[in-house]
Amino acid sequence: WILPCCGCTAEPASSSEHTAETAGTTTVTTAVTVTEQTTLTSEMPETDESDPDEQETENTGLFQGGIGDERNAATPLPEFFAYRFQPDSFSARLAGGNYQTIPYDLSEAFQHTIDTDYYLADYDSDGDYDLYLPIKYEENKVSRYAVFCWDSVSEKFQTEPVIVDAVA
């Protein structure tokens, strides 16, 4: 199952007129079939649970999801989180208003349309939605995703993603 993070109608990335520069509040989601799963073996730093809005940064990042949506603030499920993307990390506003920030290189996605190319789907068939972030593009189409799997026990995303190729 693929769930748009914002509840909007899905729109193919090729027909989207939005860019990372102009669509800071656009919430269109693209569904992509994924194959050829491989595991990333690099070590990832510990996550930061502080509020990213309180951290000084030159790039304010792109926000997606229901920021400040208190109706679902206590729901520990990724489909209700607010997401913030920056060139060097992403943050998720978890249940209860806590934040999880995971350092990861999203700089190539910022040159394209990360705000319309990320999506949630159940990668590991555990019944929970996992976060697919675009990390590589070929001919302005996503060719590779970093999948951050949701851990329902810790109620956080795993910090080491699985790298998967997108099917054209």
- Whole-angstrom distance, CA of residue 116 vs CA of residue 3: 13
Q: pLDDT tier at 93 (50, 70, 90 boundaries)?
A: confident
Decide which of 124 and 77 is more confident: 124
- Whole-angstrom distance, CA of residue 18 vs CA of residue 24: 9
Domain boundaries along the sequence of the chain = 2-166
Does the model's pTM come out above 0.85?
A: no
Give the mean pLDDT of 84-97. 85
Contact 36, 166 (CB under 8 A): no
- Whole-angstrom distance, CA of residue 141 vs CA of residue 167: 10
Which tokens sit at 79? 């489909």
36 pLDDT higher than 70:
no
Q: Among residues of the chain, what percentage have pLDDT more than 90?
A: 31
Give the mean pLDDT of 66-76. 52
